[in-house]
Amino acid sequence: MGIAKRRRTFELRNARFEDHAAIRRLLRAVDLPTQDLSDEAFEHFVICRIDDAIAGVVGLELYEPSALVRSLAVSEQYRSQGIAAKLLLRIEMHAQGFGVTRLFALTTTAQRYFEAKRFMVIERSQVPEAIRASAQFSELCPDSARCLVKSIDRYPS
């Protein structure tokens, strides 16, 4: 008789206070900035939990009617399972619930991924001033980071 496969628990949900330390660890492990993440910043973060581990995360900074997608990360052991796509879709729907119609992202490593998700590369000068003034944009991401935008006003309510 073979060993039975253990059924894994998969959960996509809003981040909770008890998740903050694990989220920071995951972001540091994949070399994403955490310096600006106060406990309040996690209000618009979504996590993917598999069993008892945070497998992935994504955050949103609201600058209505736009928002900045930040901290999209999946732990190395859980990559290539569609987790990033699920997180991105969930945060897009979350943003739409706040009246956001355009999402912006900065990346040094995931340009192709974002382009595959219908983000378009734009010049930094095309980004709303409120987002350009954010810590992500003005301090934490290098000037070499590519800037992308996506319209999300086409999701049904």
Where do the DSSP E strands lie in the chain?
10-14, 45-50, 53-63, 66-74, 102-107, 120-122, 146-151
Q: Does the pLDDT at position 6 exceed 80? A: no
Residue 120 counted as domain residue: yes
pTM for the whole structure: 0.88
Q: Does the pLDDT at position 2 exceed 50? A: no
Residue 1 counted as domain residue: no
The rounded distance, in Å, linking the Cα atoms of 55 and 24 is 12
Residue 37 counted as domain residue: yes
Determine contact, residues 115/121, Cβ cutoff 8 Å: yes
The range of the structural domain enclosing residue 111 comes to 10-151
How many domains is the chain partitioned into structurally? 1
Residue 3 counted as domain residue: no
Residue 16 counted as domain residue: yes
Report pLDDT digits (tens) over 105-150: 999 999 999 999 999 999 999 999 999 999 988 888 888 889 999 9
3-state DSSP assignment of residue 14 = strand
Residue 157 counted as domain residue: no
Report pLDDT digits (tens) over 7-38: 678 899 999 999 999 999 999 999 999 999 98
Residue 58 counted as domain residue: yes
Strands 10-14 and 66-74: unpaired
Where do the DSSP E strands lie in 22-145?
45-50, 53-63, 66-74, 102-107, 120-122
The rounded distance, in Å, linking the Cα atoms of 12 and 47 is 6
Residue 72 counted as domain residue: yes
Q: Which CATH number characterizes residue 37's domain?
A: 3.40.630.30
